[in-house]
Structure 1
């Protein structure tokens, strides 16, 4: 029988992205971004981690179903609750609850994390240059 290793106090568990990025596995989805939104840090092809169980707060980025397609919008509360288009900044009304296409299922989920591929070199502080 020997002495315990002095390094045993510093042993770390394996790093798991699932544990760090996913709080509710049954309500979490991964979606690829189809467009680039520089101001929001989303590049074309970025992996979006979407939690369908969360309620949005002011400034949340949402995945919404619009005309049968998924679109990325920003949720704003003031001066009254509305959606904001990420490309143009235009205000859009919240989905109507009467129609199946724009009802409660229109807001698919809240984007919790954005994972960009840094190898492309496209992500820059100043995309205008």
Structure 2
């Protein structure tokens, strides 16, 4: 029998991305970006972490269900709540749902964007 190690008080847990980026597992989805949106830091093929339980705030980047497609839009509150197209900057009305208070067009809020850094897209002097 001996004395416990003095370093045992300083043992750190392993890094867990699940604990770091997923707050509500039942409402979290992983999606792959199908287009590049430089201003938002989204590259084609980026892994998007989407939380369907969050309410968007002004400037949130959303995944929206428009018809049969999923699209990335920006949410704006002023002067009235609307969506903003990331490519053109054009204002778009939020599609109304049949049930009061439930908007099925907004699928979820993008909380994290994970890009592959090996592509070299983000360098010192990007050309846009």
**Corresponding residue number in structure 2 for 1:107:** 106
1:121 equivalent in structure 2 = 120
1:27-46 C-alpha deviation (Å, 9 max, x unpaired): 00000000000000000000
Shift of 1:79: 1.1
Offset, 1:124: 3.3
Instruction: Give the structure 1 partner of residue 64 of structure 2.
Output: 64
Count matched residues. Answer: 126
TM-score by structure 1 length? 0.91
In the aligned structure 2, how far is the partner of 1:63 from the partner of 1:13? 33
Q: 1:31 to 1:125 in 2, by over 3 A?
A: farther
Q: TM-score, normalised by structure 2?
A: 0.92
**Regions of 4+ moved over 3 Å:** none
- CA 1:39–1:15: 2 relative to 1, 3 Å: same
Residues in 2 aligned to 1:79 and 1:24: alpha-carbon distance in whole angstroms: 31
Unmatched tracts of structure 1, length 5 or more: none
Unaligned segments of structure 2, at least 5 residues: none
